[in-house]
Every structure is written in structure tokens, then in C-alpha cells.
Structure 1
Amino acid sequence: MIFVYLFLSLLAAVATAEDGSRAWLRYAPVPQADNYRSHPSSIIALNSTKSSPVYTAGQELQHGIKGIFGKQLGINGTSNSRPAIIVGTVDAYRKAYGNFDEADGLEEDGFFLSTEGDNVVIVGQNERGALYGAFDYLSRLAQAKFSTVSYVSNPHAPIRWVNQWDNMDGSIERGYAGPSIFFQNGFVVTNTTRVAEYARLLASIRINGIVINNVNANVTLLSSRNMDGLGRLADAMRPYGVQLGISLNFASPQTFGGLSTFDPLDPAVDAWWANITDQIYTRVPDMAGYLVKANSEGQPGPLTYNRTLADGANMFARATKPHGGIVMFRAFVYDNHINETNWKNDRANAAVDFFKDLDGKFDDNVVVQIKYGPIDFQVREPASPLFSTLRKTNTAIELQVTQEYLGQQCHLVYLAPLWKEILEFDMKADDRPSKVKDIISGERFSRPIGGFAAVVNVGTNATWLGSHLAMSNLYAYGIMAWDPAAQSEEVLGSWIRLTFGFNRDVMDTITDMSMKSWPAYENYSGNLGIQTLTDILYTHFGPNPASQDGNGWGQWTRADSFSIGMDRTVKNGTGNAGQYSPAVAQVYENINTTPDNLLLWFHHVNYTQRLKSGKTAIQHFYDAHYEGAATAQTFVKQWESLQGKIDAERYEHVLFRQTYQAGHSLVWRDSINQFYYNLSQIPDEAKRVGNHPYRIEAEKMALSGYRTYAVNPFHTASGYTAIVTTSNSTVGTATANVTFASGTYDVAVNYYDLIGGKARYELSLNNRTIGQWTGDLEDKLGHAPSIYLDGHSATRITFRGVEVNKGDILKIVGKPDGIEPAPIDYISFLPPGVAD
């Protein structure tokens, strides 16, 4: 019997390995499940139509109860059997059981949940609300929250959408988790299984709409075959209450429809869009509506014909209104060829400049979709002043779950605290409380609709986002879109319990890592409000502060040898501070009242400017980058403490990414600090910048088959130089004598992993192999890769606990492959506890 018990335990342990596809809907057995007050004997779903979210709710309840309690419940129609879980709409419940007084408190999509009587009662204002209530009940059970409850839950705003930037060829712009689940080879996919699974995930966090294609839209989506495909996708998502929407290319009447113009005031263009819209709604009667990006980053729009943005938006509004559709019109409108020599020019002013005179001129089914800050999903921005500028226009906030500028799911960055700061920010319009969350809901300015949109970009990767921990951001987005009052750490706690279980060490460790992650990333990627100092001209992934300036994109830092930052004051600068209400503008106009974390956003200062901490701006830069990278190192050890407490598959997957982040954070730290040291010539008071006593620079080793290579940007290589093989078929060897004292070291190799090749490496001491590896991160990480030696491709591998004797011969052999010439930057010999 003991053998059988051990065998079954081992089998169960093996079975618990997970690939992340179930996300937070695992419905795993919970501790002390027997403490639940009673087990209902059946499920009563008050709608048997399979496309109904109420029918789906019954199926979900059956699945969840079986997973959590191991009990199979039958599903019935109307019944008086007790105890039961009853789920349905207000109308269906009244028809079956009589009066329902709680209905008066329900708003659209809202639900009532009660476990007080013999029955569990879940009643939605509509069918979608009933499904949300079922998911909420199951979430409570899955978190072992067995207390008796009775409450109404209503959404903060009616629009809770996600945007996918999927392309017709199956690629995803700013997607880091594999190809599209919606498109392949120019057409809508035939198999919609994965689409339905995604809709289920979205419904569980109360998302009610999804725009499935890139805002840089392809006109071929409007072909007859693809419109038929839209119907197929909508059918797959309808049982989960997730409505389909699409992005449109403004020039479609001309480039696709054969008209001579796409002028929104031309009657032929107006009629063309009305006809196309009718065709789509014939296939998708409940389509949510359209998303439009116009006159931004080279996209066509109404300004081509000297029409207003409102003229363009209202054209689509007229087409969708008979069908009950919404037009989300992006406020991301700016000129990407701005003249940098004019110090009054400022991309941050663009949204208000373009939209302020249009307030009140948009139709009631138009919603202006505003990015949370004035630039573009940076690690820190002030709330967009457009939120308080538009008083007579519906608005929605645009957030980004996919970490475009924030580590692309290869760096842990829990985003809920960032979003929370923006949503809670008081714009003080008319000196009245005007929090962003209350503006976008429509409450503050009495608008009929508004809400949330988030760019998500899930792909075919089993983890959905390419990273298990990144899924906390999708979960948090849904929860906070429903209730912005939710606290970031509490939301995180729910996600951890649902995703990883109840182990206290797991809970505490992931909470600590996640809550430290945004401050850490901000510290080593761009602080004091300078924006994320990534390469804005290429992949948006690794460091390249110089790329911000010297171009027309307007993400300028205006850094020179003496000073840094944008002067956005009214008195001397671009006037951006004056776009806010007087009470807010007064704070940002004054350097003494501007928070330090936005100092360089609003003010151009000398590197020696003293902060409120007493440090100079440049010393803060140095210190922050070291502190942020040091925090990233601790994430590895913290995660390693969870070995055996999380299934091996997910443990190894996360460990790999945390190890990568630890190495790449050092690339960021050294690159940014070296750049600003070279620019300012002001030394680091701690003498760390440019001083690396544990390194052996590859270019200083004896080389055979290798040659030196000047890396560009220069600061993305230690000593500005790396080595590459002399040809793409030559094996390179680099050797050196170890000059460090004998002892035990962690030996780290910094190298470059380019897409287009998979070089192989071998590291040895006195011909004793220490490690071998392949440059294949492009197959493992999902970030936007690089074909160059730069801050995107720079990475590190570490071999721990290596016994080293002074005088040992260090040798590294690189075998190039494809375009990858086995590039190496340096080798570090790190004593215990040293992070280079």
C-alpha cells in the first residue's frame, strides 16, 4: 500500500506540470475544501441556448466545481431542487422564481451574487453579467474564500476592450508570444478553438470587447472572404459575451473600393462605408464597432482633405449607429517629422493641439481613445492633459499590457501600480475633483459612454503572452477596468493564488518581486521622467539614449554635455505644462514643486541640478541604475527559493527569464551610465561607472580567428569594443591568463545573440570545460530581436561555483553560424555575492 501511495503521489506530481495555457482558470483543488458550508447538488442555468453566455456559465460552473471540489454536478433547466447554483438574467430569474428586488441595483453587465440561502444565486443584468457572476463565484472558491456573501457588482465603465495589433500575414506588431491566433497567410483563421479559449480568459476578467487587428490596418480585411471569417470569429467569442471589433484603414474606399477619393465629406465615400458596414453587420450582428488610427505615423486620415478629425470619426459613427456600434477614434495623432531645432516644438502637445477645438463636435457613439500619457507607453509619464481638455466628448484610456517599451515580457514589470497612479491622478478640472478614472467612465463630465482599452497582443505561445509572470498584467487590467478602486497588491494576490496556489512562500516571493519590478525597471531604464531610454528607431527593447534625439519623432531628451530634459514650462518652454488645469499646471510649471520623478519631463536642467533628495541629477542617474540592476539580481535568488514549491515546467521557464533579466539589466545599467558619463564628463561619486575590476575584456585577450569590432552604439559594449570571428565560417578562439586570486567564482560571459544565426560557444579553464551554449535566444525569449551587436542583442550567461586558480588559462571558442559571428564582449569572474 505504501508503494501504491508513493506511486500515485509521484504520478500526481508529474501531472501538475503546467504550460500556462490555463492561466488563472486552473480550478485546482483548494486546501480545506471540506470547510465549504455546503456542496450544491446541481446547477440550474436559465438558458439552454449554446451560444448564450448563461449556457456557458452553467458549463463553466460544472467544470470549476469538478476541479475545485472533485464533484460532478448536473446541469438542469428551471428546477426547485435544493441546494443548487442558479445562474441567469434578471428576466429569466423572475420568470422562474418570482420577484427579484436586487435587480434595481444592477447596471449593464452587472451581477448579483448571494451564497446566503440554501441556493447560490447568480443573477446578471444581462447574459454577460450572469457569466461574470459565475466566474466571480468560481474565483472565490478557487481562492478558498468560503465565507457567506451577498452583493451587487457593477462595472465602473461600459467599455472594457482589448486591442490586438495582429497583421493579416499572422505576424503581430509589438507581440512577443508567437504568431496571431486570428490571421494566417492573409486570411482569417479557419480553426477558432484558440480564439474561443482567449474569449473565455477575457470574459473571466469581465472584458466585453476585442479589436482583433492592427491599428495600422490592412484593407484586405474587408474582402468578402475575410468578412465571412469575421463572422466565424464572432461566433466563437459570442458564448463568452466578448464582442468583436476591427480596425480600419481610412483610405480603404480608394485603395480597396476603387473610388477616386477617401474624403469623409464626399457622399460617395460616406455611402461606401455605410455599405461595407452593413455587410459586416450582416455577418456579425453584434459587432462592437470600429477602431480608427488616422493621420498618425504616416497613416491616412481626414486631414489629407483639410477635413477635421471629427469629420472623419463621425463618418464611421453614422455608418455604425443604426447597428448600435461604437467608434473608438485614437487620439494618438502627431507629426513624426517635427523640427527638433525649434525648442517650442513638442510631440507631447500634439493630442491637445489636434483635439481641443473639436470638443463637442464628435457624435455620441464616438469615443476618443487616449494613451495614458502624452508620448507613448513610457515607463513614466504624467497623465495626458487631453483627459481634462475634452469635456463634451466621450473618452477612454488606452493602456498597454504588451510590454513594448518595458522589457517585452523578458523583464518582469508588474504594471498595475503604474496604471493605478494614472487612474487616480486628479486633473482638477475647474478646481473640482477630476480623477482620470472618473473622467473616462463618463461620470465627471456626464458623458454617456467611455472606458478602457488595452493593447494585449497574445499569440499562439502556450503562456499567451510568452511569460507566465506577465499574465499578471492581463489579469490586473481586467480587474481594474471593472473596478479602478481595486488595490494593485490585492489584485496581484488573487492572481497568484489562482495561478500558483496557496503556498505562503510562493505568495510572498512573487508579491515582493512583482511590487518591486516597476520601480526597478524604471531605475535602470530611465528615471526622473526622462522616458524609457530605449532605441526608439529600432526594436524598442534595449538601451540607446542617443536614439531619442536627432530625429523627428519627438521623444526628445535634449541631452547635451551640460544639461538634459525637456523644458515644457509656459514661461520658457513648449507650454505643455499649460495644457493642464491651472491647479495642476502650477505644480508642473515650478521646478521646486514638480515631483522629482517628472523633473526631466517638464524641466531642462544642468546635470548638477540638486534634487529634493540632495543628490545631483547625474548622480541620481548613476545610483538609480545601479540600484535597479541590483534589484533585478535578487529576483533570480528569490525565484530559486521556490524550487519544489512550483511545478518544474513553470519554475524553469520563469527562472530562465529572470536570469536573462538579471543579465540584461546590467547591460542597461552600464550602457546608460556610460553614455551620460561620456556626455557630461562628470564622474560617479562612487567610482563605479567605467570601472569593472572583475572583467576580462574580450578584445584584450589573445585572439585567433577573432578580430576586434567597434560596437554601435558604443556604450552597449564594455570598453566600447567586442570581438567577432574573422569570417562566418572561421572558428574563433580567445585566450587569457586568469589574474584573479584562487577561489570559487561565478563566471559570466557577456556576448551578443543576433537573429539570423545560432553560434555555438565553449568556455574552458586549463582545457577543463566550464560550459557550452548556443546563441538561440531568438527561439526562447520572444522579444524583438536584432541583427546587430547592440543593446538589444547583448546578453549574458553565468556558470556558478567554478573553482579557479590564479594563472589558469581561460579559453573561449566561438563557432559562427549564419550572420552571427560568435560575438563576445567580456568575461567576469565574480566572487560570491558580487553582481559585477
Structure 2
Amino acid sequence: MPMSLSQLSIFDFPNFSPAANISSGARTEAESLSIGLGFQVKSNPHPSGGKYLEANAQGSQAGGIFSGVSGYYDLGLGYFDESDGSAYMEILVNGAVAAAFEWDDPSGTAIVTAAARREYVISDLELHHGDVIEIRGASDGGEPLRTDYLDLSEGTPLETAQSFDVEAESLHILSGFAVVRNGAASGSQVLQHGSSTVARASYTMEESGTFDLTINYFDETDGVSELWVSVNGREIDRFDWDGTSGSALANSASKAARLLAGLELRAGDVIELAGHGDGGEPLRIDSLSFEAKGAVDPEPVSPPDIWYEDGDYVVVALNDGHGGVHGSGDRHSHRGDL
């Protein structure tokens, strides 16, 4: 599963626009990142490039711009987890926290040595060209957040949505429709309303993307049929088949199309067509055309309740259910039972 970005940062830094590049399939030394606040470059024989970033403030921030191809990557953060403190680190993409963890391994050393080397890995992280990758952290005790490198594996490219057509006769019939032969239709068949009940048929998306959806149908002159379209039960369009310039028959002269532009659809979404015929126009649907316009935006993620320890206190921020938090900064003693 791709990594979901849902946590909120506990830090409040000024706006930060890093200029450093972070490449895919290569190591980015921490000291080559753009420093926003609180980090300084130090030399030492143990890090991979002979240098690392070290905190010189209560909160530290550095980052860069992802210069690779959009896709899913494994990101590894190299650091020194010393035994004389418990530092805290966040890894963010475009301001959203992808991972947060404490440097609390007691098996290392109290100084920078090979025994204190560690790597934290985030698997299947979705990255797009131009994304801002950022690290934020807080030192603790004798552990000043010594950060060595970022490694990005060769990623799996994001699937690009493709245009496609669906013959109406292949839709799942729920009620009222029947498959009828018609030589003027694209597949020589149409879905045709054949009863007094509302006709309903559905199509389940097999890929995600932004699409222009065109409904191809026959708008005859001897009736005014009606069709409505819904996605996952929510109506998105309703229109009358009231053309007067075609033919009273389902032939090339009465072909018509209805465009629904810019639909963001995900695999598993259910598109339903429902309606009824009128007079001599029994609601004949020919096909659906999906023209790909791009990748679908990520689904919005509601922020969770978060907490972290600050000395003898627990700081709590509660999700308000509308994309924000309340109570951030509330401090509750955790001496004894909570």
C-alpha cells in the first residue's frame, strides 16, 4: 500500500523554500540539504560523506526538492542513534508528515561511532516531481540530532490514466433496460428502456484518474426522454433528450452526445445511469467514452488526534473533524496514571 500522509507536525517553523535537489536512485548527503533553521554542518569520520547535520537549536529544519520521476519510493534516513538522549525526527512531504519517530535505541554508543549508525525506512512513499521533502527534529540530552543522509530507491512509476470506451450493452443492468440490436450503434447494440419502470444500469471504474465522460445516445424527435447520472449514489447530472433536428428513428441522424467534463474518478467508483423513455423515444444508450485528463488528486485525509511527551507532560491536539485540530499545546501531567 502506498504511504498515506496524515500526521500533523509538532513544529511551527517559518515558511521554507529549499533549493537543494533530492534525486531518486541516489544518496543525498544531509549536509547538502538546504537548512531552514537550527541545523549546522559538522565533520566526522563516521558519516557516509565525512559530514552530517547537527542540531544547534531547540528545533531544526532542512530539506530539498524531489527531482525524480513521479512514483512510489522507499526513503531511508541515515542517522546516529546515541545512547545519551532520545531525539525526535519527522519526515515530511509538502508539509504533511510521512513518518515521525524517536531516536531511543539504547544499544548504541554515547558518541558518534559506527555502532550508533541507524537507518529509518519509509516504504512505498508516493512522490511527485517537485515535491518538497523535509526533515524536522528536536535534539535531546547529549543526542544533538546527528543526521547523515537520505536514500531514495528506484521507484515504481505512477500509473497514468488511459482513455477508453465502454459499450452500453456491457453495463450491469439493474432494472428496466434490455440489450437491443441496432446497426447504427457503435457495437451494433444499444441499451434500451423496455418497461414502465425506471431503467437503471451501472459501470464500476477499474482505474483512477480525471476524465471527460461522454454519454453517446440516440435523441429521437418523437419523445422527450430523461436520463440522470450518479457517482457512488450522488447525482451529478440530469438532462432531457429533447432534440428536434434529428430523426424519429434511432439512426445516424439522431445520434447525440452529453459531455460531463473533469470527473475525478477512482477505481471502484460506481457510475449509474438511470432514466425513462417517452413517447416513441425509449431511451437508447449507445456507449460511454472516458477521455483521460490526468491523475486524480489524492483523497483528503482527516488529521488524527495526536500527542507527544514533553518532559513530565503530555501535549495533546484533538482532531475537530474538519481538517484542523483543537487543544494543541494543552499540557497534561503524566505523573502517575493518566
TM-score (norm 2): 0.37
> Does 1 or 2 have the higher relative contact order (CA < 8 Å, sep 6+)?
2
Higher helix share: 1
Higher strand share: 2
